[in-house]
Amino acid sequence: MAALPPPVPPTAVGIDLGGTKIAAALVGADGTITSRASLPTPAAAGPEAVLDAIAELAAPLLAAAAAAGAPALGVGIGAAGVIDPATATVLSATDHLPGWAGTDLRAGLGARLEIHPSAVHAVNDVHAHALGEGWLGAAAGASSVLLAAFGTGIGGSLLLDGVPLFGARQVGGHLGHVPSVEATGLRCPCGGTGHLEAIASGPSLHALYLRSGGDPAVPDARAVFDRAAAGDLLALSAIDTAATAAGRALGGLANALDPTAVIVSGGLADAGDSWWAPLRAAFAAELIGPLSSLVPQPAALGADAALAGAASLLLAPAASTHLPAFKEPTPCC
Amino acid sequence: MAALPPPVPPTAVGIDLGGTKIAAALVGADGTITSRASLPTPAAAGPEAVLDAIAELAAPLLAAAAAAGAPALGVGIGAAGVIDPATATVLSATDHLPGWAGTDLRAGLGARLEIHPSAVHAVNDVHAHALGEGWLGAAAGASSVLLAAFGTGIGGSLLLDGVPLFGARQVGGHLGHVPSVEATGLRCPCGGTGHLEAIASGPSLHALYLRSGGDPAVPDARAVFDRAAAGDLLALSAIDTAATAAGRALGGLANALDPTAVIVSGGLADAGDSWWAPLRAAFAAELIGPLSSLVPQPAALGADAALAGAASLLLAPAASTHLPAFKEPTPCC
């Protein structure tokens, strides 16, 4: 009797959907990315066009997997907006994706890709990012992970045994809206006052630099970092304040949640030691005794984290086992 | 053939071990307390004496349960200190219980009560409190609960699907050590600076009253509330500041964690509207849109919460199923 062929490890398509770009990858069971593609997000053309673009990226990857004899288990999506992971429906979204709220990713992609709707999973992009880092990246093997992303906004995700804390209203991980001493009196994009995002996001850091008398020709946070590298003391001071606020808030959250690992990502985390040094110092100063050896670490996978994390919704045992059971979406908006 | 007797619902003994008092109760499967007793904690006499006292309380309750034909499944303990729930071992403790660190509750009570060590479970007292409120009290039925207790210190617990977030170092729930604007520059008992506990605990509220020029004859936080009730404006102001700090911090944590319910307990929570009104206002001001209907609620069970919660370690399906698997303790201290 001929021996059976060895079992083929599964694959999945991971999608990272942002306001300006959609990235897609074919991800192996071990997280290896074997093929990738991307398209600009047709945000202004509305959600049907966005779904079309996702399908345009995913279809050839699904076909390639099948042709290689390692069929994909489905499509995992890390999407901008507030996502209900039980239904893969968009609960709310920002102006970057007009009309996106209410989009049913399962129905929309199941039909376009001719796959069963239950083979489509979605979480928000920061959860996808954390899932990737927790699976294969800076927090691989950690039983709990607090990830914070500092960029245009501030996002986050708490992974517990490999599963994001989605929260009762699917907004768990909104770390930008904790109180910050450094943000006292400052308006937050959420409408509140004094939140971390009002001082520690990229735009807030830039605004702080300008408020403190910085060169009005400096157009954004990236340019503030350039100025700091050139010795601009006001730029260094603004970075120090923003990063101190970030470190202090993360240290307090670590005290409350006692995670195994703290991972910091986002555009600001790529900016170098002028930001990391005050963040680490403020974080350390905040910690209670039992956490004293905890040090925030930079994310390790870059943009691949969200692709791997999205695919992990189908591939990684913890995430897929603990995802809420499939249920029919209800109109939300 | 005679009909079998109907199945008897199980019971368990719940223990609430504090620095001054040990309370014990026989708890039914529905949370009903059918019998209770208490003793002063023989703290100064050392951990063996404390174990003796717990056994002295628990033994007659176990016997009563057996005599009533509803044998207890075991003994659940909510204990002061940092507890490893997987081993029921005390990892660290405060000066209120000298020598308590390192105590193995399973071995100590198993031997004294002649029950199998695996029938002894333990968590810290604030987790026990939250388990009780989440099972039967103010958060009954909520899938996630953030509980904060404001008293001599500030403690907390995040219950997810009925299970406390113990944390990687068993210190999850230390909500008193998040940054607080109102505590800027103030020393915290943990050794840090600017933490919530430095402004919003009972002793901190009292210290604030004295610092702001209050009557030096006022001996403690309780007396500050009495003064406030009598119209002392400095007392009202100190209460307002401490409660505002509490509400702001809890609102920020709610934004980050998106719990179904927020429960507030502890001695200060019993002090009335002079404390609750600013807490609620500050909490509401902090919330992001999706959480806007979330209102912190007072705990409902009083001291019975910890007794029921401790017993729930054996009786309630979620807590008992999700407790870490029994493992032999390793020396910790």
Domain carrying residue A38? 11-129+303-322
Q: Are residues A150 and A260 in the same domain?
A: yes
Q: Are residues A158 and A223 in the same domain?
A: yes
| Among B residues 16-75, those touching chain A with beta carbons less than 8 Å apart | none
Residues of B within 8 A of A249 (CB-CB) are: 179
Q: Is residue B1 part of a domain?
A: no
Q: Is residue A5 part of a domain?
A: no
B264-297: per-residue pLDDT in tens? 999 999 999 999 999 999 999 999 999 999 999 9
Residue B110 has pLDDT above 60, yes or no: yes
Q: Is residue A327 part of a domain?
A: no
Contact across the interface for B286 and A177, Cβ inside 8 Å: yes
Q: Where are the alpha helices (DSSP H) in chain A?
A: 47-67, 105-113, 125-136, 197-200, 202-211, 221-229, 233-257, 273-286, 304-315, 317-322
Q: Is residue B52 part of a domain?
A: yes
Q: Are residues B308 and B285 in the same domain?
A: no
Contact across the interface for B169 and A289, Cβ inside 8 Å: no
Query: For residues B12 and B4, what is the distance between their CA atoms, to the nearest angstrom?
Result: 24
Q: Are residues B314 and B186 in the same domain?
A: no
Q: Are residues A29 and A69 in the same domain?
A: yes
**Token pair recorded at residue B104:** 């193995």
What does each of the 333 residues of chain A score in pLDDT, given as a tens digit? 567 766 778 899 999 999 899 999 999 999 999 999 999 999 999 999 999 999 999 999 999 999 998 889 999 999 998 999 999 999 998 888 899 999 999 999 999 999 999 999 999 999 999 999 999 999 999 999 999 999 999 999 999 999 999 999 999 999 999 999 999 999 999 999 999 999 999 999 999 999 999 999 999 999 999 999 999 999 999 999 999 999 999 999 999 999 999 999 999 999 999 999 999 999 999 999 999 999 999 999 999 999 999 999 999 866 555 555 545 444 333
Query: For residues B244 and B257, what is the distance between their CA atoms, to the nearest angstrom?
Result: 20
How many other CB atoms are found less than 10 A from the CB of residue A130? 35
Q: By CA distance, what is A182's nearest residue in B?
A: B181
Q: Are residues A192 and A87 in the same domain?
A: no
Give the count of domains, chain A: 2
pLDDT at B317: 62
Which 3 state secondary structure label does DSSP give A64? helix
Q: Are residues A220 and A117 in the same domain?
A: no
Query: For residues B244 and B208, what is the distance between their CA atoms, to the nearest angstrom?
Result: 13
Residue B325 has pLDDT above 70, yes or no: no
Give chain A's length: 333
H or E stretch at B52: helix B47-67
On average, the pLDDT of chain B sits at: 93
pLDDT at B331: 38
Q: Are residues B308 and B269 in the same domain?
A: no
- The b-or-e profile of B105-122 (16+ CB within 10 A means b, else e) is bbbbbbebbebebebbbb
Q: Are residues B157 and B208 in the same domain?
A: yes
pLDDT at B94: 80
Q: Are residues B167 and B251 in the same domain?
A: yes
State the Cα angle at B263 between B258 and B268, rounded to 5°. 135
B49-62: per-residue pLDDT in tens? 999 999 999 999 99
Contact across the interface for B166 and A258, Cβ inside 8 Å: yes
Could you tell me what percent of chain B has a pLDDT over 70?
93
* Chain A contact probe: residue of B143, B158, B174, B188 with most A CBs at under 10 A: B174
Query: For residues A30 and A316, what is the distance between their CA atoms, to the nearest angstrom?
Result: 9
Residues of A within 8 A of B291 (CB-CB) are: 169, 171
Residues of A within 8 A of B169 (CB-CB) are: 258, 290-291
Contact across the interface for A177 and B259, Cβ inside 8 Å: no
Residue B332 has pLDDT above 50, yes or no: no
B6 band by pLDDT with thresholds 50, 70 and 90: low
Q: What is the DSSP string of B222-267?
A: HHHHHHHHTT-HHHHHHHHHHHHHHHHHHHHHHHHH--SEEEEESG
pLDDT at B330: 45
Q: Is residue A4 part of a domain?
A: no
Angstroms from B268 CA to nearest CA on chain A: 20
pLDDT at A330: 45
Write the residue in B168, B248, B287 that is nearest to A260 by C-beta.
B168
CATH number at residue B278: 3.30.420.40
Contact across the interface for A248 and B184, Cβ inside 8 Å: no
Q: Is residue A118 part of a domain?
A: yes
Contact across the interface for A168 and B252, Cβ inside 8 Å: no
Contact across the interface for B178 and A174, Cβ inside 8 Å: no
Q: Are residues B172 and B79 in the same domain?
A: no
Whether residue A265 lies within 8 A of chain B, CB to CB, comes out as: no
Q: Is residue B53 part of a domain?
A: yes
How many other CB atoms are found less than 10 A from the CB of residue A182? 24
Q: Are residues B93 and B236 in the same domain?
A: no
Phi, psi of B215 (to 5 degrees): -60, 120
Q: Is residue A55 part of a domain?
A: yes
ipTM over 0.90: yes
